[in-house]
Amino acid sequence: MKFFRNVARRVLSHFVVIGLACVSAEAMAADSVKIGMIFPVTGSVAYDGQAVASGVNAAISYINQKGGILGGRKIELELVDSACEPAQSVSAAKRLIAQVDVKAIIGDFCSNATTALQQVTEEAGVVLITPVAVSPLLTERGAKLFFRNNATSAMHAKVFSKYVSEVLKLKTIAIIAKNDEYGQLDSKIYTQLYQELGNPKVLYTGFFGATDEDFSSQITKAKSMKVDGVYVVAQTEQGANVLRQMRNLGMTDVTALGAGALFNPKVVELAGKAAEGMYVYTPYDPAATNAGMKLFKEEYFKRTGKESGLYEAMGWDTLTILAEAIDRAGTEKDGVKIAAQLHRTDFDGPRGKITFDEKGQARITTKIVQVQKGKFVRVH
């Protein structure tokens, strides 16, 4: 238990520094409802992982202020850093289950780490819900206690590929992707879909490593093919670097297309004018005016002093949906009962209405946005 207290204290203090008013573990009542979270707050996707965790903490703050769950009990988050490493995720899950006795865990961010977690939690009778991981395989393995609060890469791809083919009418394209499950799967899915649609033709696919900062070899190769568009599959910081280097190397008239992870104001901030005109798919419409979006924006800003985006919304949605399911179940100690209530979810949040199918897959509408004058604007 001491291990998790130390980890949680360090992580929560970080969010205080960036503006999130968190309640320390020591201030929680002894009978608090403990929810585990295994997520990257260090490593190559730390910025994005921290954004999701920030949304989770904001939701906890809001729910606790409103009176908590299960008859007035406060929620306490046991957050452990995974760095998106499968072995680290598994170790964290085993300790959370054995030492903290959690029956519900939010995790992980990356699909490979989530895959590793899934086997551990399923065998232990623990609910696992991921806000982000997009591999379609996660909801096809028959796990009864697994839920994904995001669309799969394949679900998004059906909408985005059709838009690129029929609306943008690109004829040729290159794919520059991170060399992991996310990038490899996305590349395969889009190549197949574009073949079925007839255009654009994928003339080149180049992969890069998790810590790479120089993408000139992939960009130079794509440029030599004289493609109409480049589809970038990366997280925030690497994606911004790819965009910036593309423009610096002369690909100024090529249409930039981004995977969902690039729908992030930080990408525009880091890439500057290089992000202008980029098209990205997303489950999040920043201009939405539904009640769930209004509540989220107001409460997140109230608690952090910061504007919110997709990843913060994913964290807010996931924690709130899980907390409501635990409350309906009447207990935080029975994974089967919690899972049954998750299947009854009918939630209005910042991404609109969310329900789950029989496999634990969220039903979410894919939107398409474009960077116009430094802002994401919905175009489809």
Confidence (pLDDT) at 50 = 96
How far separated are the first and last CA of the chain, in Å rounded?
Answer: 48
Angle at 57 between CA 56 and CA 59, to 5 degrees: 65
- CB neighbour list of residue 53: distance below 8 Å, 6 or more residues apart: 11, 15, 37, 39, 41, 79, 315
**Residue 131 φ/ψ region, left for φ over 0, alpha for ψ in the -120 to 50 degree band, beta for the rest:** alpha
The one-letter amino acid code at 203 reads L
Confidence (pLDDT) at 48 = 92
**Residue in the block written with tokens 């320390």:** 24
Residue 7 Cα to chain centre, angstroms: 22
Helices (H), the chain: 2-17, 46-65, 86-95, 111-124, 153-163, 181-197, 216-224, 236-248, 265-271, 291-304, 310-329, 335-342
Residue 247 Cα to chain centre, angstroms: 27
Q: Which two tokens stand for residue 159?
A: 């909408």
Q: Which two tokens stand for residue 341?
A: 């209530």
**Residue in the block written with tokens 């997709």:** 310
Could you list the mean pLDDT of each consecutive 10-residue stretch along the chain, which spans 380 residues? 43 41 44 97 93 98 98 98 97 98 97 96 98 93 96 94 98 96 92 97 97 97 98 95 98 96 92 98 91 97 94 97 98 98 97 96 94 95
- Sign of the four-CA dihedral 298, 304, 308, 313: negative
| Entry pTM | 0.83
How far is residue 106's CA from residue 37's CA, in Å, rounded to a whole number? 5
The one-letter amino acid code at 209 reads G
**Residue in the block written with tokens 């679900």:** 155
How far is residue 92's CA from residue 86's CA, in Å, rounded to a whole number? 10
Confidence (pLDDT) at 286 = 83
- Sign of the four-CA dihedral 131, 134, 136, 140: negative
User: Which of these, 140, 186, 112, 182, lies nearest to 357 by C-alpha position?
Assistant: 140
How far is residue 334's CA from residue 58's CA, in Å, rounded to a whole number? 25
Confidence (pLDDT) at 44 = 86
Q: Are the beta carbons of 261 and 47 closer than 8 angstroms? A: no
Q: Going from the N-terminus, what domains does the chain have, and what CATH number goes with each?
A: 2-151+289-363 (3.40.50.2300), 154-282 (3.40.50.2300)
Give phi and psi for 18, each to the nearest 5: -85, 5
Confidence (pLDDT) at 30 = 54
User: Which of these, 369, 358, 378, 356, lies nearest to 151 by C-alpha position?
Assistant: 356
Confidence (pLDDT) at 117 = 97
Confidence (pLDDT) at 12 = 44
